[in-house]
């Protein structure tokens, strides 16, 4: 088939131009004369029309899509044959294919979430109809002009075999695109819906990083990597990927199907939590959300026969927790001394992967006799669909109460002389009433006794980053209740809320000055991700002053010294977390002092004790190390964990530290008390309490 069809009429469709050409078909922009509407017309070329296998595939695609009636699956309007050439008339998607958007660079996490929220229910719906797609990839996700996302190209769905060269790996049932094949698909094993979910994981990596996790010179070697190789770190490629999102990727790419998410909707729920929940992203990350160029539209509504998961109606409010198999294991305390940081010899992992890959690859070749068919071209018949709001799987829904408890009892180490466990923690809870929007509310949980937790805010916004005033009477926090992320304050017991700063841009991570007269806050003043430090009056006057500004750097996570003379904060490039260091600023002169750190790891979460000792956290290879500044200005490692530390605050007395540790497979965090004097820890039996602050 050549472009000599342009301008001609095929079965009531006038072909106006070519959209794309692939190994099996050409897709044209056409107009249906009877209804005067634009369609995408997929036409099988003459040389393949004479091949019964290709014609059968064309017919199978029509038959499959005809039984899949879902708003996020590209609908087929018509099909027929013209001059011996089969054609399919489909809805035209003006937004192009997802791979065309990807060609401009990695997508923001919010963009990916928007797309996945739409296609996940469609994929689960197809699975409920016993249809496996088996060729999910960005070119098979189409977008309409509003940013709606659609699944398309079911041409190889459920095919038993394909002996013809041209576009896939095939062998005794092995069919698909190697870069997106699941391990079981690459080995010709029986498949279920979790094979498609693996492809979603590959796509998630690619959309966020701009490249696929497994890349090699031949389709066969890529298939072997799918079976044997460990996926690379997404964060190492794109520092904007948070640890929580990376864990969703890793779980999606588990080699064993039973270790992946059971449904696409549950995978997206985990991704949404990782992106949006305080427990799922670094609360001290001052990077603003990038504006999506894939626009949102109206929420999705359940379709007949579809698989839609909604949170059941809750009484007052329902905090959400990850599924139980994602929760951190009970914290057991090891020796109080700091373990040395483990480092692998350069190249060790690569050599091991090459050795195992070769051995297993040979086994694959001998056992299933892989037949390699070179990819000729990828079909560009891609189309788009309406956007949707998030859906929440019931499996991720907690009991209808605010209590963050639920973790197993922790092993408690002696802490010696320390604060009595009085006061309360102020933390953030994720709430969804029925099928309403997901909100973040601030709550208070007593540390002693049996008193029930109390919800302190109650609206339809996202209230995050609580900070307790020095006198323990007020809570400063960030809320988007008026559109932007602005700085607010309220009494410790809740009640009326007062806005302290209204700059029409986003603010992040407030910290009180010791006298309680002001707060230091990070502000995205220019909207480019390079944040400044502002000092904001706490009396509601709206007065503020710029303390630090550099349009090439991001400043955030401030902590003010007990004498009020210095603010320690995170400083680094707005796009590369590997450049983040701990810096200090003289509040009287507004001059930078000598940096606290200068290394090649991610430093963050600075906090002062009441005696003026500065602590901070460094992360490398998924492990976290807690440091304190020595009297000589150096750094002393005092605690190391294989878990990810997502929160660090001082107790009301200032002599104990409260850490939030999450297991490597889980973005959630348990609350742990650490005593720097004897380096012992105690895990509080309060479960999941993101962004926890300790109030007197």
Contact 474, 451 (CB under 8 A): no
Most confident of 11-25, 51-65, 394-408, 538-552: 538-552
pTM exceeding 0.75: no
**CATH 1.10.510.10: does it fit domain 96-298+351-368?**
yes
Query: Residue range 160-187: average pLDDT?
Result: 58
Q: Measure the CA–CA gap between 593 and 601, rounded to whole angstroms.
A: 20
User: How far, in Å, are 6, 410, 463 from residue 460 at the CA level?
Assistant: 52, 34, 9
How far, rounded to the nearest angstrom, does the alpha carbon of residue 432 sit from its chain's CA centroid?
Answer: 19
Contact 260, 249 (CB under 8 A): no
Of the two residues 198 and 341, the one the predictor is more confident about is 198
Q: Measure the CA–CA gap between 426 and 651, rounded to whole angstroms.
A: 12
**From 3, 4, 99, 135, active-site residue:** 135
HEC string for 229-256 = CCCCCHHHHCCCCCHHHHHHHHHHCCCC
Residue 55 has pLDDT above 70, yes or no: yes
* Structure confidence at residue 50 (pLDDT): 74
Nearest to 488 by CA among 514, 462, 513: 462
Of the two residues 659 and 289, the one the predictor is more confident about is 659
Q: Measure the CA–CA gap between 630 and 50, rounded to whole angstroms.
A: 79
Residue 390 has pLDDT above 60, yes or no: no
* Structure confidence at residue 436 (pLDDT): 73
Give per-residue pLDDT as tens, 616-625. Answer: 998 765 578 9
Percent of the chain with pLDDT over 90: 32
Residue 245 has pLDDT above 70, yes or no: yes
Nearest to 228 by CA among 240, 216, 237, 238: 216
Query: Residue range 679-693: average pLDDT?
Result: 78
Phi, psi of 598 (to 5 degrees): -155, 85
* Structure confidence at residue 185 (pLDDT): 87
Residue 235 has pLDDT above 60, yes or no: yes
Sequence-distant (≥ 6) Cβ neighbours of residue 589 within 8 angstroms: none
Phi, psi of 425 (to 5 degrees): -105, 140
Residue 657 has pLDDT above 50, yes or no: yes
Q: What is the mean pLDDT of the chain?
A: 74
* Structure confidence at residue 460 (pLDDT): 86
Residue 147 has pLDDT above 90, yes or no: no
Residue 428 has pLDDT above 70, yes or no: yes
Task: Name which of 34-38, 121-125, 529-533 the model is least confident about.
Answer: 529-533
Sequence-distant (≥ 6) Cβ neighbours of residue 520 within 8 angstroms: 510, 511, 513, 533, 534, 535, 536, 547, 558, 560, 567, 569
Q: Measure the CA–CA gap between 91 and 39, rounded to whole angstroms.
A: 5
Domain boundaries, the chain: 3-91, 96-298+351-368, 426-695
Q: What one-character-per-residue DSSP string does 142-161 give?
A: EE-TT--EEE---TTTT-S-
Query: Residue range 508-526: average pLDDT?
Result: 92
What letter does residue 641 receive in the DSSP assignment? Answer: E
Of the two residues 681 and 280, the one the predictor is more confident about is 681
**pLDDT bucket at 586, cuts 50 / 70 / 90:** very high
Query: Residue range 423-448: average pLDDT?
Result: 83
Sequence-distant (≥ 6) Cβ neighbours of residue 358 within 8 angstroms: none
* Structure confidence at residue 217 (pLDDT): 65
What letter does residue 643 receive in the DSSP assignment? Answer: S
Identify whether 135 is a catalytic site residue: yes
Give per-residue pLDDT as tens, 306-339. Answer: 222 222 222 222 223 222 222 222 222 222 233 2
* Structure confidence at residue 218 (pLDDT): 65
Q: Is it true that 3-91 and 96-298+351-368 share their CATH fold?
A: no
* Structure confidence at residue 160 (pLDDT): 32
**pLDDT bucket at 175, cuts 50 / 70 / 90:** low
* Structure confidence at residue 295 (pLDDT): 34
Q: Is 362 exposed, middle or buried (0-12, 13-18, 19+ CB in 10 A)?
A: exposed
Give per-residue pLDDT as tens, 10-53. Answer: 989 999 999 887 657 789 999 999 999 999 999 888 777 777 77
- In b/e form, how buried is each residue of 130-165, taking b as 16+ CB within 10 angstroms? ebbbbbbbbbbbbbbebbbbbbbbbbbbebeebebe
* Structure confidence at residue 190 (pLDDT): 87
End-to-end CA distance of the chain: 76
Q: Measure the CA–CA gap between 347 and 349, rounded to whole angstroms.
A: 6
Query: Residue range 555-568: average pLDDT?
Result: 94
Residue 604 has pLDDT above 60, yes or no: yes
Query: Residue range 241-254: average pLDDT?
Result: 94
**pLDDT bucket at 301, cuts 50 / 70 / 90:** very low
**pLDDT bucket at 449, cuts 50 / 70 / 90:** low
The three-class DSSP label of residue 464 is strand
Sequence-distant (≥ 6) Cβ neighbours of residue 444 within 8 angstroms: 424, 425, 426, 453, 454, 456, 492, 493, 494, 695
* Structure confidence at residue 277 (pLDDT): 63
Q: Measure the CA–CA gap between 257 and 186, rounded to whole angstroms.
A: 13
Residue 506 has pLDDT above 90, yes or no: no
* Structure confidence at residue 109 (pLDDT): 92
Of the two residues 379 and 161, the one the predictor is more confident about is 161
Residue 142 has pLDDT above 80, yes or no: yes
Q: Are strands 96-97 and 484-491 parallel, antiparallel or unpaired?
A: unpaired
Q: Which two tokens stand for residue 317?
A: 């409010």
- Site of tokens 């490039």: 573
Query: Residue range 379-391: average pLDDT?
Result: 28
Any idea which architecture 426-695 has in CATH?
Answer: 6 Propeller (2.120)
Q: Which CATH class is domain 3-91?
A: alpha beta
- Tell me the helix, strand and coil percentages in the chain, rounded to 5: 20, 30, 50
Q: What one-character-per-residue DSSP string does 82-95 give?
A: ETTEEEEEEE--TT
Percent of the chain with pLDDT over 70: 71
Sequence-distant (≥ 6) Cβ neighbours of residue 472 within 8 angstroms: 423, 492, 652, 695, 696
Q: Measure the CA–CA gap between 222 and 218, rounded to whole angstroms.
A: 6
Query: Residue range 178-190: average pLDDT?
Result: 88
């Amino acid at each position: 088939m050549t472009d000599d069809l342009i301008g001609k009429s095929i079965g009531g469709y006038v072909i106006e131009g070519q959209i794309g050409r692939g190994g099996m078909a050409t897709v044209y922009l056409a107009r249906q004369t009877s209804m005067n509407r634009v369609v995408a017309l997929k036409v099988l070329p003459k040389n393949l029309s004479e091949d019964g296998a290709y014609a059968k595939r064309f017919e199978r695609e029509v038959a499959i899509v005809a039984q899949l009636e879902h708003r996020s699956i590209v609908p087929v309007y018509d099909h027929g044959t013209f001059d011996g050439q089969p054609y399919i008339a489909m809805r035209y998607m003006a937004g192009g294919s997802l791979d065309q958007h990807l060609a401009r660079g990695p997508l923001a996490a919010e963009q990916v979430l928007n797309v996945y929220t739409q296609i996940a229910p469609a994929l689960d719906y197809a699975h409920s109809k016993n249809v496996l797609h088996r060729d999910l990839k960005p070119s098979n996700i189409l977008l309409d002009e509003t940013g709606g996302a659609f699944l398309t190209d079911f041409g190889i769905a459920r095919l038993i075999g394909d002996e013809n060269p041209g576009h896939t790996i095939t062998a005794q049932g092995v069919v698909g695109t190697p870069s997106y094949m699941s391990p079981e698909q690459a080995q010709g094993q029986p498949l279920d819906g979790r094979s498609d979910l693996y492809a979603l994981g590959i796509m998630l990596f690619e959309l966020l990083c701009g490249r696929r996790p497994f890349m090699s010179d031949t389709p066969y070697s890529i298939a072997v990597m799918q079976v044997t190789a460990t996926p690379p770190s997404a964060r190492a490629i794109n520092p904007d990927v948070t640890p929580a999102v990376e864990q969703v990727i890793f779980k999606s790419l588990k080699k064993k199907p039973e270790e992946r998410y059971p449904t696409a909707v549950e995978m997206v729920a985990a991704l949404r939590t990782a992106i949006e929940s305080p427990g799922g992203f670094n609360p001290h990350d001052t990077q603003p959300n990038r504006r999506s160029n894939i626009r949102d539209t109206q929420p999705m509504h359940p379709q007949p026969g579809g698989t839609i998961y909604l949170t059941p109606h809750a009484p007052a409010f329902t905090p959400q927790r990850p599924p139980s198999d994602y929760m951190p294991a009970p914290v057991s305390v090891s020796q109080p001394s700091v373990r040395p940081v483990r480092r692998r010899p350069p190249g060790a992992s690569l050599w091991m992967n090459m050795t195992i890959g070769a051995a297993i690859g040979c086994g694959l070749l001998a056992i299933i006799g892989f037949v390699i068919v070179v990819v000729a071209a990828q079909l560009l018949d891609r189309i788009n669909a309406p956007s949707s709001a998030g859906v929440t799987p019931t499996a991720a829904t907690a009991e209808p109460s605010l209590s963050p408890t639920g973790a197993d009892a922790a092993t408690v180490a002696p802490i010696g002389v320390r604060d009595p466990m009085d006061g309360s923690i102020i933390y953030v809870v994720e709430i969804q009433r029925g099928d309403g929007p997901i909100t973040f509310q601030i709550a208070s949980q007593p540390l002693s006794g049996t008193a029930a937790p109390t919800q302190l805010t109650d609206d339809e916004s996202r209230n995050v980053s609580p900070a307790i005033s020095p006198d323990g009477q007020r809570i400063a926090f960030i809320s988007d209740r008026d559109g932007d992320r602005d700085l607010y304050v309220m009494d410790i017991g809740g009640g009326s809320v007062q806005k302290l700063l209204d700059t029409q841009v986003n603010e992040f991570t407030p910290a009180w000055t010791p006298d309680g007269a002001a707060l230091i806050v990070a502000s995205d003043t220019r909207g480019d991700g390079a944040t400044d430090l502002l000092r904001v009056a706490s009396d509601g006057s709206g007065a503020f002053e710029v303390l630090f500004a550099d349009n090439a750097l991001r400043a955030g996570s401030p902590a003010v010294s007990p004498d009020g003379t210095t603010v320690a904060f995170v400083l680094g490039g707005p796009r590369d977390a590997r450049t983040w260091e701990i810096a200090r600023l003289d509040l009287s002169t507004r001059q930078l002092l000598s940096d606290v750190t200068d290394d090649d790891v991610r430093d963050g979460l600075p906090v002062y004790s009441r005696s003026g000792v500065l602590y901070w956290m460094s992360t490398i290879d998924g492990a976290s190390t807690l440091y304190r500044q020595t009297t000589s200005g150096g750094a002393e490692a005092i605690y190391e964990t294989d878990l990810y530390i997502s929160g660090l605050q001082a107790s009301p007395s200032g002599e104990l530290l409260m850490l939030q540790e999450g297991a490597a497979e889980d973005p959630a965090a348990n609350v742990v008390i650490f005593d720097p004097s004897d380096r012992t820890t105690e895990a509080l039996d309060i479960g999941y309490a993101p962004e926890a602050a300790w109030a007197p």
